[in-house]
A = this chain, B = another copy of it.
Amino acid sequence: MTQTTIGVGLVGYAFMGRVHSQAWRNVAAFFDLPVTPVMAALSGRSLSAATDAAARMGWAAVETDWKELVNRDDVQIVDICTPGDSHAEIAIAALQAGKHVICEKPLANTVAEAEAMVAAAAASQGRSMVAFNYRRVPAVALAQRMVAAGELGQIRHVRAQYLQDWIVDPDFPLVWRLQKDKAGSGALGDIGAHIIDTAQFVTGQTIVGVSALTETFVKERPLASASSGLGGSRTSEKGAVTVDDAALFIGRMSAGALASFEATRFATGRKNALRLEINGSLGSLAFDFEAMNELWVSSGDSGFRRVLVTEPDHPYVGAWWPPGHGLGYEHTFTHEIKDFLEAVGTGSDPSPSFADGLRVQRVLAAVEESAASGSYKEIA
């Protein structure tokens, strides 16, 4: 057990805040860490709601202004779980206050914001990380390890999809994720960002150019009475959907692979299908988050093996249960927090960095530009 503790402050306690809280509460019970997190305080605009959330999730104190939280003496880590429009402001303030920052993805709503965040990170003593949690699915981490070890040979093809269906119903309300000013973009930034990062992480290649299409199938929706969460009740009034419902793009990666990407919230029957398929000259991999404990592996002619990624020597798995006793969605965050705490505790830079987040942001921007122009867009 570790002796040193480190205080954590959480900004935002909706879906992402809940799952981050779960990770902070449990990480030290399973992993040996250089520093032990203390759940110091949570901030939220409504005092009563924030107090309830803090009590349920195990946070010791409450702030109603994130600026107060960032400046608390007992907070050394700021965990940002708000919509994308506030990421830059909060993260920069926290970094300037010398805090370590872990920030939900996408890093920001624009490339400019992301650049400012990278600059702030470079200027600060604090460590920073963007929370692409799907890197910490054991099967995805195992995929990365296999590619890095050369087991797939030269990567030829990447096929990445993130398919959901939660807004197929045209009467689903206009929640914040469907508003450009809050979310930056739609399926593209919310789930497209994940497959961009995951594809780049697993292959070790960056996307160097894209041709894209985007579409908003349902142009207006009932106004939601509440602005956060996936759901929310609706009113009879309607408002414009200002983000994409779906984004498709094809592109080239830095070492010559061809890649295709699709992010959509209109894939009826697909609930959270983050799917990745990679073909190399020696072998192939396939993954679907809907069966997150499985990685499908082909070594040439031998067919695809369904590897149950629950063996002690698989990434992160040894800390948990015996083989065949699977993990769930929340554990990807536990792993993320574990890696972040290791980096903070040992004085190294966590990964993915804000610079990695900026890289994804540039791809998002290129997709929007290509979709608008109809032309292939190179990424600097």
A324 proximity list for chain B (CB < 8 A): 164, 270-273, 289-290
Q: Contact between B25 and A29 (Cβ–Cβ < 8 Å)?
A: yes
A61 beta carbon closer than 8 Å to chain B: no
| Chain A interface mostly | mixed
The contact size tier of chain A is: 35 or more
Q: How many copies of this chain does the complex contain?
A: 4
0/1 interface trace, chain A 143-182, chain B, CB 8 Å (1 if under)? 0000000001000110101011110100000000000000
Instruction: Flag whether A310 is at the interface (Cβ < 8 A).
Output: yes
Chain B proximity mask over A249-268: 1 for CB below 8 Å, otherwise 0: 11110001010101010111
Candidates B161, B213, B281, B322; contact of A252 at CB < 8 Å:
B213
Q: Is the CB of B330 within 8 A of A376?
A: no
Q: Give CA–CA (A321, B252) in the complex, Å.
A: 34
> For the complex, is A116 an interface residue (Cβ under 8 Å from B)?
no
A321 vs B375: C-alpha distance when bound (angstroms): 39
A4 contacts B by Cβ under 8 Å? no
Using CB atoms, name the residue of chain B closest to A274.
B324
Beyond the given A156-B267, A321-B329, A327-B329, please list 17 additional residue pairs across the A-B interface where CB-CB is below 8 A. Answer: A1-B56, A21-B29, A22-B29, A152-B268, A213-B251, A215-B258, A246-B258, A248-B250, A250-B260, A264-B279, A269-B279, A269-B283, A290-B326, A302-B305, A302-B307, A305-B306, A326-B329
Sampled A-B contacts (30; CB under 8 Å): A1-B55, A15-B321, A19-B321, A25-B25, A25-B29, A156-B266, A164-B324, A211-B212, A211-B250, A215-B256, A248-B258, A268-B282, A269-B298, A269-B300, A269-B303, A270-B324, A271-B310, A271-B323, A272-B310, A272-B322, A272-B324, A302-B305, A303-B305, A321-B329, A325-B329, A326-B326, A326-B329, A327-B328, A328-B330, A375-B375
